[in-house]
């Protein structure tokens, strides 16, 4: 299986979102925005219920690790949520298709991957793309914004900063480039 990468050109996120919205894939656009702003795994994103998104923050118990995490809803997330919020019952899944709403089941990981990959390609994202790209992009964007890797590590529930750096795609050539640009004295 090919390792997925973060979206390094952050302008491509807005382009991808706009393409989804133009195609009337509003809920899919919301998944993208929540994914890159919350840094949750796809299984945790798809399990979100309306009651989770109605406050300023919510708690998630990660399915993979069992660890808890608080997620704050920022302005981008709120604007996206407002596109689809329509007095839905609190226990309903946010990402349930029309046919699955009555069954109480969320979208599948495969559906999320298929639609996001299609629109990533339309937006010109050429790196290896998967649903995990959203989570990696979250970490990469925080790192690019200058946030300490130890804080990103904590948000992603990683065991070490080295794992976090590798996870978000900070490779030796990036480190070499940083050193080459320094030129002190």
- Active-site positions read 41, 64, 132, 135, 158, 167
Instruction: Tally the residues of the chain.
Output: 185
Q: Which of 112, 99, 117 is nearest to 27 (CA)?
A: 112
Q: Judge contact between 138 and 7, C-beta under 8 A.
A: no
For residue 105, the surrounding DSSP H or E stretch is none
Report the alpha-carbon distance of residue 128 to residue 117 in Å, rounded.
Answer: 9
Q: Could you tell me the end-to-end alpha-carbon distance of the chain, in angstroms, rounded to an integer?
A: 46
Under 8 Å between Cβ of 59 and 48: no
């Amino acid at each position: 299986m090919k390792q997925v990468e973060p979206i390094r050109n952050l302008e491509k996120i807005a382009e991808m979102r706009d393409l989804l919205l133009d195609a009337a894939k509003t809920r899919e656009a919301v998944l993208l925005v929540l994914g890159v702003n919350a840094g949750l795994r796809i299984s945790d994103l798809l399990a979100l219920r309306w009651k989770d998104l109605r406050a300023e923050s919510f708690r998630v118990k990660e399915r993979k690790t069992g660890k808890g995490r608080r997620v704050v809803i920022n302005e981008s997330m709120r604007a996206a949520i407002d596109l689809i919020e329509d007095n839905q019952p609190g226990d309903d899944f946010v990402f349930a298709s029309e046919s699955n709403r009555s069954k109480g089941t969320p979208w599948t990981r495969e559906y999320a991957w298929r639609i996001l990959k299609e629109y990533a390609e339309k937006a010109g994202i050429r790196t290896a793309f998967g649903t995990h790209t959203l989570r990696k992009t979250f970490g990469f964007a925080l790192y690019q914004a200058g946030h300490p890797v130890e804080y990103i590590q904590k948000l992603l529930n990683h065991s070490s900063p080295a794992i976090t750096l590798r996870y978000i795609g900070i490779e030796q050539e990036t480190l070499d480039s940083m050193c080459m640009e320094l030129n002190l004295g």
